C-alpha cells in the first residue's frame, strides 16, 4: 500500500512507514494513493465479521504484510462484536461499544497496536497521543504490557468524565498519563509540537496513536460493512449513516467504505455546539470558533484533524460532497434526544443521541437511519443518570477500575514542561 502526504505530494510512504510515522512532513496527513473496491459486495456481506474484515484490510495492506499476518492481526484486534440494534421502524443504532474500554476507539486502537507490534519488530517506540476522552483509554488498553512500547497520554484536566479518566490513568506499567491544564485542542497542539521537535521525535522514537494514524481509519472501515450486513436485506441500500463527529476519523472511515463499494446512500456529520464543519458545509467558510465544553465531551473539537482527508476524498473524485450534510445539536436537544430514545426503549448517551437527533427528522420514505453508538452509556454515567433520571449499573470494565488510584502527572499547557517530563520519564530506561 502506498500513501501520499496531503501537504507534500513528493513524500510517498508504505503502510508500515505511515503507521510508524503517524504524520508526514509539515504535519501532513497520509492518504492512500489508491482505494481498492469490491464488486462482489453481497458475497462479502455474507461473511463473518473477522473473515470479512481480513478481506477488506488485505485489499489495502495484504501486499505489504501478507494475508496471513493481516488475518492474525485482525483476529487479535477484533475480539468483540459490532452490533446493530433496531430502535424503531426506521432507525438502527450501530453499537460500537462492546470492547474493553466501551467505545468505538477500541477497534482502531487495538488494530493499530497489533500492526505496530509486528511492524516495529522489537525496536523501542514511544506512543504520544492526546485524548478528549475515549482515545486515551482505547490506546492505553491496546498497548498495555506490549514489550518495548511506552505510551504517553495527554488529556484536558477536569474536562473528561471521572470514569472515562479512570479507564486509562489506573493502568500504570508502560502507560504514562498527563493531565494538561487546558482544553483538548491545546493537548493536540502539544502533540503536534513534539512531532515537529526533531530531538524528541527521533530521540524517543515518537509515534502518534490518535485518529490521524492511518491504521486506525482502515480498521474503522470494517464496521460499516458489518452494519450493512446486519440490516434486513431490503434495507441494505437505503442506509443513511449519522456519525457523531469530533475529529472526523469515524466519518472518513465511513466514506472510505462507500468508495470501496458499500452501498451507503449518504452521511450526516452530527456535531455538538462545536460546529465548524456544519457551518462550513452551509457557508463554504472555514471559521473555527473557540472550543466549547459540552456533555458530549469526546466531540469538543473545533479544529477537526481528519477533515483534510474528507476534502481529499472529494477533490480526488471519490465522494460527491452532496451526499454529506452537517448538523449541529445543542445541549437542550441532546437531552431531548436521550429522553426520546428512552421512550423508544433505548438507553443512550450524549454522543449517540446527537447522531440520533440529526438523522431522526431527516429521512425520506425510502431511507433508513443508522446512527453510530460510539460509547456505552455507563461511560457517561453521571450525565445519563441526570438526564434520564434512572440509575445505570456499571459494566465490568468500568466496575473494575472505578476504585483504583489515578496515577496521572499534572502539567501546564507548556510544551517545554512536557518535553522535560517525557525525557525524564523515558530516557532513563
Ligand atoms: C472520539 C469519539 C467521537 C468522535 O469521533 P471522531 O472520529 O473523532 O469524529 C464520538 N463519540 C465518542 C464517544 C468518541 O469517543
Average pLDDT rounded to a whole number, residues 244-252: 97
Question: Which of 159, 163, 245, 305 has most ligand 1 atoms within 8 Å of its beta carbon, as the pocket-test mutant?
Answer: 245
- The pLDDT score that the predictor gives to residue 302 is 96
Residue bearing cell 514511544: 126
What is the grid cell recorded at 176? 504514562
Please, are residues 2 and 34 in contact by the beta-carbon 8 Å criterion?
yes
Ligand 1 site, residue 246, Cβ cutoff 6 A: yes
CA of 68 to the centre of ligand 1 (A): 31
- The pLDDT score that the predictor gives to residue 134 is 74
* 333-342 contacts at long range (C-beta below 8 A, 24 or more positions apart): 333/357, 334/272, 334/294, 334/295, 334/296, 335/295, 335/387, 338/384, 338/387, 338/388, 339/387, 339/388, 341/87, 342/388, 342/390
CA 154 from centroid of its chain's CA atoms: 16
How many degrees, rounded to 5, is the angle at CA 277 between CA 272 and CA 278? 70
Question: Which of 247, 278, 384 has most ligand 1 atoms within 8 Å of its beta carbon, as the pocket-test mutant?
Answer: 247
Burial level of 10, CB count in 10 A (0-12/13-18/19+)?
exposed
Higher pLDDT, 173 or 20: 173
- The pLDDT score that the predictor gives to residue 327 is 98
The helix (H) or strand (E) run that includes residue 311 is: helix 307-315
Q: Please, which residues have CB within 8 angstroms of residue 126's CB and are 6 or more apart in sequence?
A: 149, 150, 151, 152, 204, 205, 206, 207, 422, 426
Ligand 1 site, residue 134, Cβ cutoff 6 A: yes
- CATH topology assigned to domain 106-212+403-427: Rossmann fold (3.40.50)
Tens digits of residue pLDDT in 183-241: 988 999 999 899 899 999 999 998 877 668 999 999 999 999 999 999 999 999 999 99
Measured CA to CA, the distance from residue 130 to residue 190 in angstroms comes to: 8
Ligand 1 site, residue 216, Cβ cutoff 6 A: no
Fold match between domain 81-103+214-388 and domain 106-212+403-427: yes
Measured CA to CA, the distance from residue 212 to residue 309 in angstroms comes to: 10
- CATH topology assigned to domain 81-103+214-388: Rossmann fold (3.40.50)
- The pLDDT score that the predictor gives to residue 339 is 98
What is the grid cell recorded at 286? 472555514
Tens digits of residue pLDDT in 266-297: 999 999 999 999 999 999 999 999 999 999 99
The total number of residues shown for the chain amounts to 429
Higher pLDDT, 283 or 120: 283
Measured CA to CA, the distance from residue 104 to residue 226 in angstroms comes to: 13
Tens digits of residue pLDDT in 371-424: 999 999 998 898 999 999 999 999 988 888 988 999 999 999 999 999 999 999
- The pLDDT score that the predictor gives to residue 23 is 85
- Asked whether residue 429 carries a pLDDT value surpassing 70, the answer given is no
CA of 130 to the centre of ligand 1 (A): 13
Tens digits of residue pLDDT in 131-155: 877 788 889 999 999 889 999 999 9
CA of 301 to the centre of ligand 1 (A): 10
Of 2-6, 44-48, 192-196, 409-413, least confident by mean pLDDT is 192-196
Question: Which of 95, 99, 132, 244 has most ligand 1 atoms within 8 Å of its beta carbon, as the pocket-test mutant?
Answer: 244
CA of 129 to the centre of ligand 1 (A): 15
Ligand 1 site, residue 164, Cβ cutoff 6 A: no
Tens digits of residue pLDDT in 354-365: 999 999 989 999
Ligand 1 site, residue 298, Cβ cutoff 6 A: yes
DSSP for 393-424 reads PPPHHHHHHHTSPP--EEE-S-HHHHHHHHHH
Share of the chain above pLDDT 90, in %: 84
Ligand 1 site, residue 299, Cβ cutoff 6 A: yes
Ligand 1 site, residue 250, Cβ cutoff 6 A: yes
CA of 134 to the centre of ligand 1 (A): 7
DSSP for 73-130 reads HHHHH--S--EEEEEETTEEEEE---STTSBTHHHHHHHHHHHHHHHHTT--EEEEEE
Domain extent listing, the chain: 81-103+214-388, 106-212+403-427
How many degrees, rounded to 5, is the angle at CA 277 between CA 94 and CA 1? 65
On average, the pLDDT of the chain sits at 95
- Asked whether residue 428 carries a pLDDT value surpassing 80, the answer given is no
Ligand 1 site, residue 358, Cβ cutoff 6 A: no
Look at residues 163, 131, 116, 154 and name the one whose alpha carbon lies nearest to residue 305.
131
Measured CA to CA, the distance from residue 334 to residue 230 in angstroms comes to: 27
pTM: 0.91
Amino acid at each position: 500500500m502506498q500513501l501520499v502526504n496531503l501537504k507534500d505530494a513528493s513524500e510517498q510512504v508504505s503502510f508500515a512507514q505511515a503507521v510508524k510515522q503517524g504524520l508526514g512532513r509539515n504535519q501532513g496527513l497520509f492518504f492512500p494513493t489508491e482505494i481498492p473496491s469490491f464488486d462482489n459486495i453481497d458475497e462479502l456481506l455474507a461473511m463473518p465479521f473477522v473473515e470479512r474484515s481480513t478481506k477488506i484490510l488485505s485489499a489495502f495492506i495484504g501486499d505489504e504484510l501478507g494475508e496471513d499476518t493481516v488475518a492474525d492481526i485482525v483476529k487479535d484486534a477484533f475480539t468483540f462484536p459490532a452490533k446493530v440494534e433496531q430502535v424503531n421502524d426506521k432507525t438502527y443504532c450501530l453499537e460500537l461499544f462492546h470492547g474493553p474500554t466501551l467505545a468505538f476507539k477500541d477497534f482502531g486502537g487495538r488494530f493499530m497496536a497489533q500492526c505496530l507490534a509486528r511492524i516495529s519488530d522489537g525496536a523501542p517506540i514511544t506512543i504520544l497521543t492526546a485524548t478528549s476522552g475515549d482515545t486515551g483509554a482505547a490506546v492505553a488498553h491496546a498497548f498495555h504490557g506490549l514489550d518495548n512500547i511506552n505510551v504517553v497520554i495527554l488529556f484536558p484536566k477536569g474536562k473528561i468524565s471521572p470514569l472515562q479518566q479512570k479507564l486509562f490513568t489506573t493502568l500504570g506499567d508502560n502507560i504514562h498519563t498527563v493531565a494538561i491544564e487546558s482544553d483538548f485542542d491545546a493537548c493536540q497542539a502539544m502533540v503536534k509540537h513534539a512531532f515537529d521537535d526533531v530531538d524528541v521525535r527521533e530521540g524517543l522514537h515518537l509515534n502518534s496513536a490518535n485518529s490521524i494514524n492511518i491504521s486506525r481509519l482502515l480498521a474503522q472501515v470494517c464496521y460499516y460493512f458489518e452494519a450493512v450486513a446486519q440490516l434486513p436485506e431490503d434495507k441494505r441500500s437505503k442506509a443513511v449513516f449519522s456519525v457523531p463527529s469530533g475529529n472526523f476519523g469515524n466519518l472518513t472511515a465511513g466514506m472510505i467504505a462507500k468508495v470501496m463499494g458499500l452501498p451507503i446512500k449518504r452521511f450526516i456529520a452530527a456535531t455538538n455546539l462545536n460546529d465548524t464543519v456544519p457551518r462550513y458545509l452551509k457557508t463554504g467558510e472555514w471559521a473555527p470558533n473557540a472550543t466549547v465544553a459540552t456533555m458530549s465531551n469526546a466531540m469538543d473539537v473545533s479544529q477537526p484533524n481528519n477533515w483534510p482527508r474528507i476534502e481529499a476524498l472529494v477533490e480526488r473524485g471519490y465522494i460527491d460532497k452532496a451526499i454529506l450534510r452537517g448538523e449541529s445539536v445543542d445541549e437542550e436537544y441532546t437531552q431531548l434526544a436521550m429522553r426520546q430514545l428512552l421512550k423508544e426503549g433505548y438507553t443512550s448517551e450524549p454522543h449517540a443521541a446527537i447522531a440520533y437527533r440529526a438523522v431522526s427528522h431527516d429521512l425520506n420514505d425510502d431511507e433508513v437511519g443508522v446512527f453510530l453508538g460510539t460509547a456505552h452509556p455507563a461511560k457517561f454515567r453521571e450525565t445519563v443518570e441526570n438526564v434520564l433520571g434512572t440509575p445505570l449499573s456499571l459494566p465490568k470494565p468500568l466496575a473494575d477500575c472505578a476504585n483504583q488510584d489515578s496515577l496521572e502527572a499534572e502539567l501546564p499547557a507548556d510544551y517545554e514542561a512536557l518535553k522535560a517530563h517525557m525525557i525524564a520519564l523515558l530516557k532513563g530506561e
